[in-house]
Amino acid sequence: MKKILFLFMSVFVLTGCAHGRWERLMTLKSLGSEQKDISAYIEEQDAKFEALLAAVRGDALKKYVGSEAIKALYGEPIYVKSVDRQGGIQKEWLYRYATQFFDSEKVYLYFDREDSLVDWIINGGS
Q: In percent, how much of the chain has pLDDT > 70? A: 84
Q: What is the mean pLDDT of residues 88-102?
A: 92
Instruction: With CA atoms as reference, report the closest residue to 46 among 57, 54, 34.
Output: 54
Span 33-124 CATH architecture: 2-Layer Sandwich (3.30)
pLDDT at 87: 86
Phi, psi of 57 (to 5 degrees): -65, -35
For the chain, domain boundaries = 33-124
Distances (CA, A) of 90 to 25, 84, 107, 120, 125: 51, 6, 15, 12, 24
pLDDT band at 35 (very low <50, low <70, confident <90, very high): confident
The verdict on pTM exceeding 0.75 is no
Q: Could you read off the pLDDT of 44-58 as tens digits, one per residue?
A: 999 999 999 999 999
